[in-house]
């Protein structure tokens, strides 16, 4: 079997190669798609917004057309990219999101898509709580004032700087990250309100957590933190109408996807003090343009899309991916196959059957 590792500036090909050795004694070709950090951030954002077909087929695909599987992170897997291989059987991405993979095209071609759930969940949930505190308690602004030779004590929310104790925290999305945020906030003695149309009330097994409708969450929450995947249905989940329903003392936190929030509506709400503030780690254009109206506001904390970037999360991701792929190769049931229906494809059945015969 031939394995192509397809790294980038965040996780390089050598790291994927080390993890791929868990799969057995196979031919492994180590490559890197985009080694420049700045360019990677721009290209990954464009792919997430427009799909993998926006990119040309990477030359390493054509140079390794006999590869049986490709393991990577952000690189594009378009239909044309898949067709550049003679008999590709598996695509593995060491991340939860699969926006860089045309999953339907893979399924049609009998290609298994494996991803990694929760690789940076601890990192993102930590960061989300941190942004709540940083924005509401003016941590970043106070730091900047000292750096600028000032000793600032008065801020835009000076009349209602909150403590977390007793507050309502609204979580949009209650998957792994949302649940971690709720768990980490439990020590602050808060009430958690959750909006997630895919969660049933009986699955809420944490004290102080209440499943509510969207309107209740917007109207009653002191902090709203977004932890949903971006879909066509929830694009601009927060826009003018939703911001108008929030408390004037409420804060919006987004470490998920920029498309969940209508940025123009948020800028207007912040400028007019319709809400107290916002903490944002994701933007429609990254890096954020130097003349962006968010930069002129004093009630927003901005970070450089780093919520999920910790050494722990990056180091373990290729190994988590390799563990899932190994389950498939060993005839077991993998937990994170993005297109499980493909396992019934004749091509996949034939491949897995051949692996079973070899192992016997």
Q: Please give the positions annotated as active site.
A: 257, 286, 305
d(CA 302, CA 280): 5
By DSSP bridging, strand 168-172 and strand 191-195 are parallel
d(CA 232, CA 99): 13
Phi, psi of 64, deg, nearest 5 = -130, 50
Q: What angle do CA 304, 310, 311 make, to 5 degrees?
A: 135
d(CA 356, CA 219): 56
Could you tell me which residues come within 8 angstroms of residue 15 by beta carbon, excluding any fewer than 6 positions away?
7, 315, 318
Q: Put the strands of the sheet holding 251-254 in their side by side order.
A: 209-211, 191-195, 168-172, 223-226, 251-254, 277-280, 300-302
Task: Please give the torsion angle defined by the CA atoms of residues 188, 194, 196 and 201, in that order, rounded to the nearest 10 degrees.
Answer: 110
Phi, psi of 209, deg, nearest 5 = -110, 130
Report the DSSP beta bridge partners of residue 152.
Answer: none
Q: What angle do CA 50, 307, 301 make, to 5 degrees?
A: 95
By DSSP bridging, strand 191-195 and strand 251-254 are unpaired
Q: What token pair was written down for 49?
A: 């917004």
């Amino acid at each position: 079997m031939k394995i192509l590792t397809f790294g980038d500036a965040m996780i390089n090909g050598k790291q994927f190669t080390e993890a791929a050795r868990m799969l057995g004694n196979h031919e492994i070709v180590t490559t890197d798609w985009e080694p420049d950090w700045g360019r990677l951030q721009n290209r990954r954002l464009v792919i997430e917004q427009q799909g993998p077909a926006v990119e040309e087929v990477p030359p390493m695909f054509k140079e390794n057309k006999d590869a049986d599987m490709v393991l990577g992170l952000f690189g594009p897997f378009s239909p044309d990219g898949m067709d550049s291989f003679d008999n590709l059987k598996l695509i593995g991405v060491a991340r939860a999101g699969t926006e860089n993979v045309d999953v339907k095209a893979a399924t049609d071609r009998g290609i298994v898509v494996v991803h990694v759930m929760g690789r940076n969940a601890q990192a993102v949930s930590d960061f989300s709580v941190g942004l709540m505190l940083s924005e509401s308690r003016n941590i970043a602004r106070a730091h900047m004032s000292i750096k600028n030779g000032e000793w600032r004590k008065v801020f835009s929310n000076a009349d209602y700087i909150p403590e977390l104790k007793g507050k309502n925290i609204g979580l949009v999305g209650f998957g792994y990250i949302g649940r971690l945020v709720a768990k980490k906030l439990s020590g602050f003695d808060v009430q958690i309100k959750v909006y997630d149309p895919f969660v049933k009330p009986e699955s809420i097994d944490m004290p102080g957590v209440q499943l509510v409708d969207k309107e209740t969450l917007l109207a009653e929450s002191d902090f709203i933190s977004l932890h949903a995947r971006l879909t066509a249905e929830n694009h601009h989940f927060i826009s003018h109408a939703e911001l108008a329903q929030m408390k004037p003392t409420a804060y919006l936190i987004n470490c998920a996807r920029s498309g969940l929030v209508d940025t123009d509506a948020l800028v207007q709400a912040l400028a007019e003090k319709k809400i107290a503030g916002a903490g944002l780690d994701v933007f429609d254009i990254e890096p954020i343009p130097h003349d962006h109206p968010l930069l002129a506001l004093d009630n927003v904390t901005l970070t450089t899309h780093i919520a999920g970037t910790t050494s722990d999360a990056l180091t373990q991701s290729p190994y988590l991916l390799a563990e899932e792929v190994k389950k498939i190769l060993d005839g077991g049931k993998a937990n994170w196959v993005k297109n499980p229906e493909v396992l019934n494809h004749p091509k996949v059945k034939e491949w897995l059957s051949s692996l079973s015969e070899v192992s016997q």
